């Protein structure tokens, strides 16, 4: 908790809290990152789960995965900025902790998916194997839940 307090009390935390532009801009970037991440990976996850079978998996993955990564890259520093502004209260928030746990689980799922199935995508012009479909649905639901929990932090 000392590190959390130090972050909140740092010049960065004070800037995130006190600037007329820092917090709103971080909030907008965080939202833009979420839209990119969930929009891109969500479409790919839906395809892997069995929707849009006329669309080639490899082409979708090649186009959508980099967009999802850009979304994640936008969310990391903007999330840190939002956290720094009120770190102590957020660190105590059960909703925030659930959000972080789901982010970790979703990232582990994404890495596991790429390691297990990444080289086999080209053979899935029809249906993905059942385990891959389950992982894709878990990804989609996890990222949607992360976004929902992020929004619910304000009400917890």
Please write the tens of the pLDDT for every residue from 89-139: 999 999 999 999 999 999 999 999 999 887 788 777 778 899 999 999 999
Asked if the model's pLDDT at residue 27 lies above 80, the reply is yes
CA of 149: how far to CAs of 8, 63, 98, in Å? 22, 28, 8
Using an 8 Å Cβ cutoff, are 105 and 50 in contact?
A: no
pLDDT band for position 40 (50/70/90)?
very high
Residue 17 has pLDDT above 90, yes or no: yes
pLDDT at site 127: 81
Give the closest residue to 100 by CA, choosing from 86, 79, 73: 79
Please state, in angstroms and rounded to a whole number, the distance separating the CA atoms of residues 58 and 36.
Answer: 19
Nearest-angstrom CA–CA distance, 101 and 132: 22
pLDDT computed for residue 117 by the predictor: 84
Average pLDDT of 1-29?
94
pLDDT, one tens digit per residue, over 50-102 is 999 888 999 999 999 999 999 999 999 999 999 999 999 999 999 999 999 99
Which pLDDT score, from 0 to 100, does residue 119 have?
Answer: 79
pLDDT, greater one: 98 or 1: 98
Say what the pTM is: 0.91
pLDDT at residue 156, rounded to an integer: 78
């Amino acid at each position: 908790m000392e590190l959390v307090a130090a972050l909140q009390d740092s010049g960065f935390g004070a800037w995130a809290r006190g600037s007329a532009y820092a917090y709103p801009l971080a909030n907008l970037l965080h939202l833009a990152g979420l839209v990119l991440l969930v929009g891109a990976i969500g479409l790919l996850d839906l395809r892997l789960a069995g929707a849009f079978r006329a669309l080639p998996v490899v082409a979708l993955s090649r186009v959508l995965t980099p967009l999802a990564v850009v979304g994640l890259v936008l969310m990391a520093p903007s999330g840190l900025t939002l956290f720094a502004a009120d770190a102590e209260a957020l660190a105590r928030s059960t909703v925030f902790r659930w959000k972080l746990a789901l982010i970790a689980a979703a990232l582990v799922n994404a890495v596991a998916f790429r390691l297990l199935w990444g080289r086999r995508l080209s053979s899935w012009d029809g249906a993905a194997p059942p385990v891959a479909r389950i992982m894709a649905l878990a990804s989609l639901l996890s990222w949607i839940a992360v976004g929902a929990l992020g929004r619910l932090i304000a009400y917890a």
